[in-house]
Amino acid sequence: MPIKTLQIPTADGQADAFAAFPDRGGQHPGVLMYADGFGIRPVLREMAQELAGHGYYVLVPNLFYRHGPAPVIELPEYIGEEARPAVFAQLMPLIEAHTAERALNDADAYLRYLSAQPEVGAGPVAVTGYCFGGLLATRTAAAHPGEVAALAAFHGPVGADGPDSLARITADIHFGHAESDLTPAALSELNQALDAAGVRYTSEIYPGTIHGFTMSDTDAFDPAAFQRHWDRLIPLLDRTLANHR
């Protein structure tokens, strides 16, 4: 799948980004993919290309573009337990600076840019995200209910903004939670909020997983859960965006 490097105009400047899309020409449904807190790196390119291979145009912005182009911080090839403290010491200020206001302004710019690409067909889009990006994906779906038809988030703090935010979502949803991130009681509370919102959803704990289970360059990676994530994500997109191919 081809990868194109892009610059997205935003209220605060230019966000560097990349897109992966099928090489057979034509137009495809758009997917906005939010990276995890570690940001754009080879594993995100591989994941975007995998998704593009199923017939989607996948846009992946650098969440922390205000602090410089990706990679904003230098990452080891493998993010293991020993590397985490130093990495998080650099990452946390960036995450804390990425306020809800900034996230929503950026979401406006990302969706506007995505829908304007010549390879993207008319109609609704999907948003997906990992870790911190799962929260950003959820915020995007809540702020753009008429535009986002599908929302998927994996090991992300998706309930952080409370039930009122979830109530604004109209997209079909899949939330895949790490077992270490969410107790059964917290899952029940989250799912009650989704019930109250009246949306079509699945929201489940992936057994035996820890936070970050989709990322193959970290010690949290779980191959079975990673496959399960594709088994949930791709049918969700196919169901909600099939009429816009």
Average pLDDT score, the chain: 96
> Which CA distances in Å does 163 have to 103, 131, 134, 208, 221?
19, 19, 16, 27, 30
pLDDT at residue 245, rounded to an integer: 57
Instruction: Please state at what angle helix 100-116 crosses helix 132-143, rounded to 10 degrees.
Output: 70
Q: With 90 as the cut, is the pLDDT of residue 243 above it? A: no
pLDDT at residue 167, rounded to an integer: 96
Question: What is the value of pTM for the model shown?
Answer: 0.97
Q: Dig out the tokens for 36 from the structure.
A: 């995890």
Average pLDDT over residues 199-212: 97
CA–CA distance, 135 with 223 (Å, rounded to integer): 23
Average pLDDT over residues 168-192: 96
pLDDT tens for each residue of 126-135: 999 999 999 9
- Asked if 154 contacts 222 with a C-beta cutoff of 8 angstroms, the reply is no
Taken in order of first residue, the domains within the chain and their CATH numbers are 3-244 (3.40.50.1820)
Q: Is the peptide bond before 61 cis (omega within 30 degrees of 0)?
A: no
pLDDT tens for each residue of 36-64: 999 999 999 999 999 999 999 999 999 99
CA–CA distance, 129 with 32 (Å, rounded to integer): 8
Residue-wise DSSP of 118-170: TTBPSS-EEEEEETHHHHHHHHHHHH-TTTEEEEEEES--TTTT-HHHHTT--
- Asked if 61 contacts 44 with a C-beta cutoff of 8 angstroms, the reply is no
Per cent of the chain over pLDDT 70 is: 99
Q: With 70 as the cut, is the pLDDT of residue 187 above it? A: yes
Q: With 60 as the cut, is the pLDDT of residue 114 above it? A: yes
How many beta carbons lie within 10 A of that of residue 185, not counting itself? 8
Q: Dig out the tokens for 46 from the structure.
A: 């591989």
